[in-house]
Amino acid sequence: MGLLVKLGLRRPIEWERPTLLDWFLDSPLQALVFHLYLVILWLRGNPVKPPRNRQPIKIVCLSDTHESIVQNVPDGDLLIHCGDMTNVGTAAAIQKQIDWLASLPHQHKVLICGNHDSWFDINSRREEDTLLNNVINMRGLHYLERKSVTLAFKGGRKLNIYGAPDLPECGGPENAFQYTAQQNKWHDTIPVDVDILVTHTPPLHHLDLSLGCPHLLRETWRKKPKLHVFGHVHWGRGKQPVFWDECQKSYEKVMSQPKRGPIYDMLPHLGWLDAWKVLYYGFISILWHWFMLGGAANGSAMINAAMQHGTSGRLTKKPPITIEI
């Protein structure tokens, strides 16, 4: 295993992207379905578009800046930061990031914290901040901790945004807002009228290297926000359409199966039936989207806005992800 990692044939940790050999040794079926599903999504096109005859709202998404200043942040109407502003989580480090965000020209700015932003969680706050009673000046940013804010934009449009920092356990007590695999922190917490959901953790099986939260995935199925922005898994960075249909349901079911390895994966099992459902429902959905709906928007979008270049400790050279709704 160590030699294969040194040769670049296998990933060293689960927070890295799987190699082709990783995919093959874990589950060839899941590898096939994962890449097939990406093709289906690409063929289905963009599910989120601004309403006709209404002024579009441009949203700029950031996450996991880890004390770095992102240069050339695009202008827009709404700036969202999904947490992990810092590495150490002290009030002083967080304040530097907030001061930078406050200096940007966006009309509205929304922020949640990540597991590294420990000052926000009294149970993980650093001793120096507790003893000195250090506080943070939010400087007009909307900090959301399991709450919503409704923001008004040009043209009379409004967006209801809900943010929460909670995430599955990923470290020691210095990490903020963690919960165990047995705890469901998400059940019936997201408002039914939410337009944009902001979390630090991804939902399971979407831009997450399979490290996301299954409870959050179930809750997003119930509430179906128009846009879900998150971070945390740096190598999951990107934008993905979601359609809340049988194709997506079948895809998530395949990816939730235990990894059987290359030999057992080739033997007939129920996972192959779900794989065929992905192909069948995907084909039907493409036809429906283009020939019946004429390419009209009929879904949602998920964005992993991580600004780190994977686990390198450096910012990506790519610009922040933007979207118009």
CA-wise closest residue to 157 among 17, 37, 55, 232: 55
Query: What SS3 class is residue 227?
Result: strand
Contact 76, 85 (CB under 8 A): no
Rounded Cα–Cα distance for residues 54 and 51 (Å): 6
In the block, tokens 């998150």 appear at 230
Q: Give the confidence band of 4 by pLDDT, cuts at 50, 70, 90.
A: confident
Tens digit of each residue's pLDDT (9 = 90 or more) over 82-105: 999 999 999 999 999 999 999 999
In-domain check, residue 41:
no
Tens digit of each residue's pLDDT (9 = 90 or more) over 119-177: 999 999 999 999 999 999 999 999 999 999 999 999 999 999 999 999 999 988 899 99
In-domain check, residue 45:
no
Query: For the chain, how many structural domains are there in total?
Result: 1
Cβ neighbours of 166 (radius 10 Å): 23
Here the CATH number for the domain that contains residue 119 is 3.60.21.10
In-domain check, residue 158:
yes
pLDDT at residue 75 tops 80: yes
Backbone angles phi, psi at 315, to 5 degrees: -70, 145
Tens digit of each residue's pLDDT (9 = 90 or more) over 203-262: 999 999 999 999 999 999 999 999 999 999 999 999 999 999 999 999 999 999 999 999
Residue type, 115: N
**What is residue 161's predicted lDDT score, i.e. its pLDDT?**
98
Tens digit of each residue's pLDDT (9 = 90 or more) over 270-300: 899 999 999 999 999 999 888 877 777 789 9
**What is residue 298's predicted lDDT score, i.e. its pLDDT?**
81
Backbone angles phi, psi at 266, to 5 degrees: -80, -20
**What is residue 291's predicted lDDT score, i.e. its pLDDT?**
81
In-domain check, residue 294:
no
pLDDT at residue 268 tops 90: no
Tens digit of each residue's pLDDT (9 = 90 or more) over 181-209: 999 999 999 999 999 999 999 999 999 99
Structure tokens at 186: 């998400």
The 8-class DSSP code of residue 292 comes to: I
**What is residue 288's predicted lDDT score, i.e. its pLDDT?**
86
3-state secondary structure 139-203: CCCEECCCEEEEEECHHHCEEEEEEECCEECCCCCCCCCEECCCCCCCCCCCCCCCCEEEECCCE
Rounded Cα–Cα distance for residues 213 and 302 (Å): 14
Residue type, 296: A
Contact 322, 77 (CB under 8 A): no
| Domain of residue 188, residue span | 50-244+299-325
**What is residue 5's predicted lDDT score, i.e. its pLDDT?**
87
> Length of the chain in residues, anyone?
325
In our burial notation (b when 16+ CB lie closer than 10 A, e otherwise), range 77-107 reads: bbbbbbbbbbebbbbebbbebbeebeeeebe
- Give the side-chain half-sphere CA count within 13 A for 136: 26
User: Model-level pTM?
Assistant: 0.96
In-domain check, residue 116:
yes
- Give the side-chain half-sphere CA count within 13 A for 178: 16
pLDDT at residue 53 tops 90: no
Task: State the greatest distance between any 2 C-alpha atoms of the chain, in Å, as a whole number.
Answer: 64
Q: Give the confidence band of 13 by pLDDT, cuts at 50, 70, 90.
A: very high
**What is residue 44's predicted lDDT score, i.e. its pLDDT?**
93
Rounded Cα–Cα distance for residues 258 and 23 (Å): 13
**What is residue 266's predicted lDDT score, i.e. its pLDDT?**
87
In-domain check, residue 7:
no
**What is residue 200's predicted lDDT score, i.e. its pLDDT?**
98
Contact 39, 240 (CB under 8 A): no
In-domain check, residue 286:
no
In-domain check, residue 220:
yes
**What is residue 323's predicted lDDT score, i.e. its pLDDT?**
98
